[in-house]
Amino acid sequence: MAIELQHVSYTYSQDTVYEMHALEDVNLKIGDNECIGIIGHTGSGKSTLIQHMNGLVKATEGAILYNGKNIYDSDFALPSLRRRVGLVFQYPEYQLFESDVFSDVCFGPKNLGLSEDEIRARAKKALEQVGIPESLYDKSPFLLSGGQKRRVAIAGVLAMEPEILILDEPTAGLDPRGRDAILTLIRDLYEKRKITVIFVSHSMEDVARYVERLIVLDHGHVIYDDVPKAVFAHYKELEQIGLRAPQITYAIDRLQAYGLRTSQIVTTVAEAKNAVLEWFAQ
Amino acid sequence: MKNITIGQYYPTDSVIHRLDPRVKLFGTIVFLVSLFLTDHYLGYAVITVCLAAVLKLSKVPFKMLLKGLRGILILLLFSVVFNIFLVPGRELVHIWFLSITAEGIRRAIFLGIRLVYLVIGTSLMTLTTTPTDLADGLEKALRPLNKLHIPVHDITMMMSIALRFIPILMEETDKIMMAQKARGADFETGGLLKRAKALIPLFVPLFVSAIRRAIDLANAMETRCYQGGEGRTKMHPLCYQKRDKRTYCIYAGYLIAIFGINRILVAFQILPFLFA
Ligand SMILES: Nc1ncnc2c1ncn2[C@@H]1O[C@H](COP(=O)(O)OP(=O)(O)O)[C@@H](O)[C@H]1O
Ligand SMILES: [Mg+2]
């Protein structure tokens, strides 16, 4: 179970005046049970990158291997890849179309050709996972609140029970509580269901807290691919490409002028608390 | 999806691009009139030279024009073939019950040229003028119709909004299609009924989003106190420049040349000689 991108490049509107190199020579290996964050400036190619991972977009150059098999080979079954790699688009609530919440979540599993019972069981489980109460199942998805719609849409992909779940800016435009609920869900899927989750985010705080591996994109190039701490150690370079380290990192940085010492770079509030308590204890 | 080109604009900076949209609209009409009034090879030679000159000046690659021609290929073939076989006249070849006449060939050639030039001429206008400019030009050119209580402003405003929304809706279609494909939707296989049904997950969100966008736009226009064309001023009012006036002079010269050639050829009765 692994996806490998080899020298992947992608150009939008190739051979026209609107030509746009969205990805250039991207090499990545994504394995089992990983929790990966992708960050980058707007337009750096994050969405384009993840749309390659389930074969929705065909790379202009390079190859993508799924368990060692090239997904662009003519005998490769793309539908089976899309079942294993679930992709939740940005603002997924705009893809809802059924007359009630439950049927909408059933759409994915139905396309897999499962039995009626299995479809219903999966939809129910997925809706439970995202915290949509049963009282909403019969409601029109268009009448829900923004956060609820988002969770229904995520359930629609979860119900397909993918082995890799990819989410494009899942927390964009949500209030703090909605954001925490979705991030906790992501973390749960990773820890309890042992699947690989990848999510695109604009919040350094979120990725520092939730992911184990961080991929940084800039102008279509992967410039860092490491554990968050190692990536944020380069915060000077990150600032140059319009990103930054979590705010707490800067706060601790300032405190070091007054004598605070840390063994490694601090990226979360919890770590900062420990560091400060230790400093006071001395 | 991305291959649909309506209101296709080729962004570059050329003399033609900088012309006032009204000049280009009028020019297109002049060109079409000349195309349909000409009935001899010499006239078409003059038109070809002029068209080539405009094409060169516009910096639009010829490839872009060929794209538009692909759309009328079938129509072109039909009309040319029908003309070759069905026009009566001096018989050249006889095959079974069909006969090819000299007049038929001439008619077919002229018709082919007319059709191709018609598409090239109008494409050149849309390729060198942004949809907004075009609507602006139309509004100003058609303003006299206001007297007849035709709401020119509202019509052109609707037209420019519609044109503006085409690329947005196409992008949206692309996105929703991908999102549903990621959920296992299949738009490509199956019979007619299955395919039509497969479009529901695409069209429902698309309509919902189009209506949402329309409401948002209407609200945004209202909060900016939009209330139709009455007393409305423009940020970039259309104003004829020197080059626009010169272009009108060129049109006059062009029309005189085309008519002149026509008259002279008729007067000297050398038409049959040129048709040979
Ligand atoms: N459908 C498209 N057509 C043309 N260019 C596009 C399209 N989608 C994205 N791009 C361009 O590709 C680049 C990368 O876009 P994207 O992957 O959406 O970036 P991100 O998700 O990081 O903001 C951007 O410069 C964007 O303008
Ligand atoms: Mg994006």
Question: What pLDDT was estimated at residue B5?
Answer: 46
Q: Nearest ligand to the C-alpha of residue A89?
A: 2
Q: Is the pLDDT of residue B98 over 90?
A: no
Measured in Å, residue A92 CA sits from the centre of ligand 1 at 17
SS3 B233: coil
pLDDT, tens only, A92-122: 988 999 999 999 999 999 999 899 999 999 9
CA–CA separation, B181 and B172 (whole Å): 14
Phi and psi at residue A66, to the nearest 5° = -115, 115
Report which listed range, A253-267, B28-42, B66-80, B201-215, is most confident: B201-215
Q: What is the distance in angstroms between the Cα of A57 and the nearest Cα belonging to chain B? A: 9
Q: Is the pLDDT of residue B156 over 70?
A: yes
Give mean pLDDT, residues B120-132: 88
CA atoms within 13 A on the CB side of A191: 9
Comparing C-alpha atoms, which of A263, A220, A193 is closest to residue A26? A220
Beta-bridged to residue A241, according to DSSP, are: none
Q: What is the mean pLDDT of chain B?
A: 85
Q: Is the pLDDT of residue B79 over 80?
A: yes
Most ligand 1 atoms within 8 A of CB, residue of A20, A44, A200, A221 to mutate: A20
Is residue B159 within 8 Å of residue B138, measured between CB atoms?
Answer: yes
Question: What pLDDT was estimated at residue B271?
Answer: 53
Residue numbers in chain A where pLDDT is lower than 70? 1
Q: Kindly state whether B70 is in contact with chain A, defined as any CB-CB distance less than 8 angstroms.
A: no
Supply the ipTM of this predicted assembly. 0.88
Higher-confidence residue of B261 and A203: namely: A203
Question: What pLDDT was estimated at residue B167?
Answer: 81
Say which of A79, A88, A107 has its CB closest to residue B201. Answer: A107
**Structure tokens of A185?**
């869900």
CB count in 10 Å sphere of residue B256? 10
Contact between chains at B184 and A156 (C-beta distance less than 8 A): no
CA atoms within 13 A on the CB side of A7: 2
- Please state which of the ranges A109-123, B52-66, B84-98, B108-122 shows the lowest mean pLDDT: B84-98
Question: What pLDDT was estimated at residue B269?
Answer: 59
Q: Is the pLDDT of residue B272 over 60?
A: no
Residue type, A85: V
Contact between chains at B183 and A160 (C-beta distance less than 8 A): yes
Percent of chain B with pLDDT over 90: 32
Is residue B251 within 8 Å of residue B27, measured between CB atoms?
Answer: yes
Measured in Å, residue A56 CA sits from the centre of ligand 1 at 14
CA–CA separation, B199 and A23 (whole Å): 31
Measured in Å, residue A46 CA sits from the centre of ligand 2 at 6
Q: What is the distance in angstroms between the Cα of B218 and the nearest Cα belonging to chain A? A: 20
Give mean pLDDT, residues B193-213: 91
- Which residues in chain B touch residue A56, judged by CB atoms under 8 angstroms apart? 178, 181-182
Q: What is the distance in angstroms between the Cα of B226 and the nearest Cα belonging to chain A? A: 29
CA–CA separation, A150 and A206 (whole Å): 18
pLDDT, tens only, A43-92: 999 999 999 999 999 999 999 999 999 999 989 988 889 889 999 999 99
Comparing C-alpha atoms, which of A9, A22, A67, A68 is closest to residue A48? A22
> Which residue in the block uniquely carries the two structure tokens 């707490």?
A248
> Which residue in the block uniquely carries the two structure tokens 């050249």?
B92
pLDDT, tens only, B5-23: 445 788 888 999 999 999 9
Question: What pLDDT was estimated at residue B2?
Answer: 43
Question: What pLDDT was estimated at residue A138?
Answer: 94
